[in-house]
Amino acid sequence: MQDSWSLLLQKLGIAKTFYDAAQNQKQYNVDDEVLLKMVNYLGYPLKDIADSAELLEKIENRRWQYALEPIYVVRQNDKSFDAVLKEDDISSFELTVTDFQGNALEVDYTVCEAETKKRGSVMYKKLQIKITTDMLPQYYNLEICCGKKTSCSVLAVTPDKCYIPEVLQHQKLWGFAVQLYSLTSRRNWGVGDFTDLKNFVCFCRSQGADVIGLNPLNVLVHDRPENASPYSSVSRLFLNPIYIDVEKVVGFKAEYIKGKESEIVHLRQTKNIDYTGVYNLKISVLRQIYEEFKKDTKSKDYKEYENYCKKQGNDLDNLAAYQAIHAYYYAESKGGLNSWPKEMQNPNSAAVTAFKKSHQSEIAFFKFLQYVADKQLQEVYAEVAKCGLKIGLYRDLPVGLSKDSAELWSGCDLFIKDCGAGAPPDVFFPTGQKWGLGAFNPYTLKANAYRPFIKVLRAAMEGAGTLRIDHVMSLMRLYIIPDKEENGTYVYYNFDDMLGIVALESYLNKCMVVGESIGNVPDGFIEKLHARGIYSLSVLWAERWNGFGDFRMPYDFATETFSSVGTHDMAPLRMRWFGYDIETMYNLKMLDEAERQDQYKGREDERRRLLNALDYSGVWPEDKQRQGDCIYGEGYPNGLTEAVETYVSTSASNVYLAQLEDIFGVEVLQNLPGTDVDKHPNWRRKLPVCLEDIATNAEFMRARQAIKR
């Protein structure tokens, strides 16, 4: 029984044991109860472990029940796939390949018989077919015809590597990692917007920077503006309306904000972002604009709006309908998707159809928000091209999305049921992370020819020079936690297929790919990414020998990386030096006293090793030689910021991303994983310097000089 159980888990890609990435690398043996739940959550009904052998046999027999898989992801130089046919049909089958425009390709292929199996009285053979004709990387329709029966599949022919700009072959580039919401300016309404981003593009050109790393820009819950995590969107296909510059929208009139000027000034001056105040004010003005906009259906702008809606199709329809339904029921129950009447939880129900008919104007308004947001982002793309930034926008694809979301509502079968993604403990987050994010089911994802994954890749790659894939280990495996449990286990994806799809979309969209690989990284994983042309992230605090030893010298950093001092989930340089993040976690009871002391000892060792590395590398500014060690955190060494910026920016890494929080000496966290807004003001920190003043800020000028030098 146990052998069958283990084989079943292995077949389904559910980890029975795993190691975390914390300092002591603890091994976990997952309870059978949790594992049994995971089998069912993946869509394979199993009441008792004793029935494992029967389910395993069903799964292994399933491949013999259809001729072609839903999709084959193959390499350009090895276009091989399998097909299951009746033995009597093998001599007469026909293979047809067409592109997505319907043009037939003449292809040569070879056939080898691999396996044989009898089902009832019929003998079947599994063939290995290899296309030998050269084919460009692209998606193709694949058909096998046997008599009157035709079987169809998608053939994804992938390049060996992702797209990489030629400039990186001979030039090192640099830029900034920014949270768009955190940009302050003398003109925005209290949150960074698309006009700020457009102006930041011009600022980068003036400074010689070629890349802007952004947080995810995806739409969040309309009725709960304080749910501000950009990594917990309701759709990864569309944009957050809070980034709209309302005053730049066609049809805006000054009278719409008459009497609200002081409110805007207040929102602009708050220490942290008042999401409710900003969002509700913007939406109220945008509604007024829309009411006038929809009156002239023959205008050029309205026709443009209609064309946008038509192009976005069902995905936009689903988002807008979801938002309208959510707003309707939230006004009563203050709850989300699970609090709706059952018939409303099915997007294809008669009740939803009736709702759409009776709420057409509200649904159209939500589409209008997306049209306006997209139009303003397109202007940013145009500014990037005009300014000649060599990479431009470096966009961010979240690993999952809110479980109360349009994506789950309109495609619930695509996601692992009653579970959320997270991460076990690691060096940076010793308590682990329970994100509670919806995650693709690897089996339904493949059954849908990876189209949902392709959609989110394309949405994030549009207009971008680089795509950052958050928690890129999810292409291989993802730590899944049942909703009612505190711990979970890893679920494995078809790594080769996922890598192939990423490489193909990168090639088609001319967008390079960077994988965020901080945390529990499997052995050999980074090497496989690099082999497919996927860059990794290099964070100073992780660039230590054996994870805890001396810092690597700049020339020891990997070339195929985007390097930075830290990330939005890590304490900025000055905060980390003093250990304020440790004290924050202790005060929030995320660490006990023993763990707190261990963290402080580790940080003291880190400070000592960092100073040694900076000394050895000779990166201290000539006019700011440090006066003391301050290794016990009693002070901040003179010239430390510039020395660290120089240290990382001179590394072998092809691209360096500076963080303005490090440069300006910020002492608060943008995000503390494992906490909600009731404990920590995540995603609300504004930059202390206005966009208009950055170029002349003394700290910035010195840091920029260090980077350029």
**Which amino acid is located at 92 in the chain?**
S
Average pLDDT of the chain?
A: 94
CA distances from 84 to 80, 117, 260, 293, 563 (A): 14, 10, 68, 57, 47
pLDDT-derived band at 37 (thresholds 50, 70, 90) equals very high
Percent of the chain with pLDDT over 70: 100
Q: How far is CA 405 from CA 179, 222, 267, 312, 651, in A?
A: 22, 11, 28, 18, 41
Average pLDDT over residues 21-32: 84
pLDDT tens-digit readout, 144-166:
998 789 999 999 999 999 999 99
User: Which range is least confidently modeled, 60-74, 201-215, 618-632?
Assistant: 618-632
At 149 the three-state DSSP class reads: strand
At residue 171, does pLDDT exceed 80? yes
In 483-557 the beta strands, taken as DSSP E runs, fall at 489-492, 512-515, 535-539
Mean pLDDT, range 133-140, rounded to an integer: 97
SS3 of 362, please?
helix
Query: If we measure between CA atoms, which residue out of 198, 234, 196 comes closest to residue 216?
Result: 234
Its pTM stands at: 0.95
pLDDT band at 20 (very low <50, low <70, confident <90, very high): confident
Place of tokens 């963080």: 659
**pLDDT attached to residue 114:** 77
How does pLDDT run across 260-281, given as a tens digit for each residue? Answer: 999 999 999 999 999 999 999 9
Residue-range domains of the chain with CATH: 2-62 (no CATH), 77-158 (2.60.40)
Is residue 82's pLDDT more than 60?
Answer: yes
What number is the average pLDDT over the span 48-55? 95
Q: Answer yes or no: is pLDDT of 139 > 90.
A: yes
Q: Both ends of the chain: CA-CA distance in Å?
A: 65
Among 90-104, 139-153, 237-251, which range has the highest average pLDDT?
Answer: 237-251
Given this model, what pLDDT does residue 702 score?
A: 95
Helical residues (DSSP H) of 388-422, grouped into ranges: 406-410
CA dihedral 47, 53, 54, 57 (to 10 degrees): 130
Average pLDDT in the 360-371 region?
98
Supply 462's token pair: 């549009």
**Crossing angle (nearest 10°) for helices 451-461 and 495-509:** 40
E-assigned strands of 487-590?
489-492, 512-515, 535-539, 561-564
Going by C-alpha positions, the residue among 479, 233, 222, 495 that lies closest to residue 369 is 222
In sequence order, the 6+-apart residues with CB closer than 8 A to the CB of 7 are 52, 56
Instruction: State the pLDDT confidence band at 674, using cuts at 50, 70 and 90.
Output: confident
Using the CB atoms, write b or e for 41-80: b if 16+ within 10 Å: bbebebeebeebeebbeeeeeeeeeebbbebbbbbbeebe
Tokens of 606: 């880190």
* pLDDT confidence band for 520 (50 / 70 / 90): confident
Is pLDDT at 463 greater than 80 in this prediction? yes
pLDDT at 635 over 70: yes
Report DSSP letters for 296-351, one per residue. Answer: -TTSHHHHHHHHHHHHHHHHHHHHHHHHHHHHHHHHHH---GGGS-GGGGSTTSHH
Supply the pLDDT for residue 390: 97
Contact 614, 647 (CB under 8 A): yes
Secondary structure of residue 18 in the 3-state scheme: strand
Answer whether residue 245 shows pLDDT above 80.
Answer: yes
Taking residue 291's Cβ as centre, other Cβ atoms within 10 Å add up to 12
- Output the pLDDT for position 629: 84
Sign of CA dihedral 75, 77, 82, 85: positive
pLDDT of residue 2: 63
Tokens 């009725």, residue? 223
| Interval 190-194 mean pLDDT | 98
Token match 């000779």: residue? 618
